[in-house]
Amino acid sequence: MKAGVLGRFDGSFSRLEPYRGSRRVDDQELTDQIDVTGVARTPDGVDITEGIAAREELATVEAAAIEFDAISFDSESDIVTRHTDFAVIPGELVVVESSDGLFLYDVLERAIGVSAERVSVPLDGVQSAFPNASIWKVGFYGRDEGAENGVLHGQDLQDDPAFAEYVSSGSLNQLGMHVTIDDETYNLYLSESGYFEIYEPRDLDTKEFLKFVRTHLQPHFS
């Protein structure tokens, strides 16, 4: 996993086990399931669990039919299954691959009795933590005049005098950077709403991804 929506737990637990449970919605029995696909420990003793979660939900499906000289429409309820890959540091962090996977929060609370919440990340703090970063994308908002909001793409935006005000505005909702840490260069993207992606190094694994989140982003969570 090298991308996903970041969340945190509001309680502690030591281990995430496979889970299968059911719930009733409109007199239908629907199933939730968590499959654990891998458990690993980092060199500094942090446990990481990877897995796949699925949830059955009721959805309204509209169907069309041709009848004589007219087209008719009808709707009915059907069971659909949503799924997501995820990674967890027990009691600390949870990452799902996109906002469609946020149903995992409810499934986890049913499975372990601990709730999770999506985090927001104030990007001015992240930007300040990497003063030597090369910025290639900025989304800004909240200006009172002229360009009130927008997105800038390019290279070394922080050095462009035409756009320096937007880059350092403090009201950022998107941030793309190249940062170098311990002689390793990372190309990353982060949104204020908690979506995070590392494009390079390409061979980054889930342990390294979560280590980056835990070390460099978690202190800025709000």
For 173, other C-beta atoms within 10 Å of its C-beta total 17
The answer to whether 60 and 70 have CB atoms below 8 angstroms apart is no
Answer yes or no: is 143 within a domain. Answer: yes
Answer yes or no: is 49 within a domain. Answer: yes
Do residue 108 and residue 129 come from a single domain?
no
Do residue 44 and residue 109 come from a single domain?
yes
Do residue 156 and residue 102 come from a single domain?
no
Answer yes or no: is 209 within a domain. Answer: no
- Domain boundary at 101, 118, 135, which? 118
What is residue 171's predicted lDDT score, i.e. its pLDDT? 85
What is residue 170's predicted lDDT score, i.e. its pLDDT? 65
- Domains of the chain: total: 2
What is residue 72's predicted lDDT score, i.e. its pLDDT? 86
Do residue 99 and residue 16 come from a single domain?
yes
Contacts of 156 (CB under 8 A, 6+ apart): 134, 135, 136
Give the three-class secondary structure for 95: strand
Do residue 15 and residue 105 come from a single domain?
yes
Q: How far is CA 211 from CA 16, 33, 53, 111, 144, in A?
A: 19, 27, 22, 25, 38
Do residue 132 and residue 66 come from a single domain?
no
Do residue 131 and residue 176 come from a single domain?
yes
Do residue 109 and residue 10 come from a single domain?
yes
Q: What are phi and psi of 153, to 5 degrees?
A: -120, 150
pLDDT along the chain (222 residues), means of 10: 96 94 94 96 89 95 84 86 97 96 97 96 93 93 76 91 76 94 96 97 94 95 92
DSSP state at residue 171 = -
What is residue 39's predicted lDDT score, i.e. its pLDDT? 94
What is residue 3's predicted lDDT score, i.e. its pLDDT? 97
Do residue 133 and residue 101 come from a single domain?
no
Do residue 111 and residue 165 come from a single domain?
no
The rounded distance, in Å, linking the Cα atoms of 193 and 203 is 26
Please give the residue range of the domain that contains residue 110: 3-118
What is residue 76's predicted lDDT score, i.e. its pLDDT? 81
In this prediction the pTM is: 0.90
What is residue 52's predicted lDDT score, i.e. its pLDDT? 98
Do residue 23 and residue 94 come from a single domain?
yes
Answer yes or no: is 151 within a domain. Answer: yes
Do residue 82 and residue 47 come from a single domain?
yes
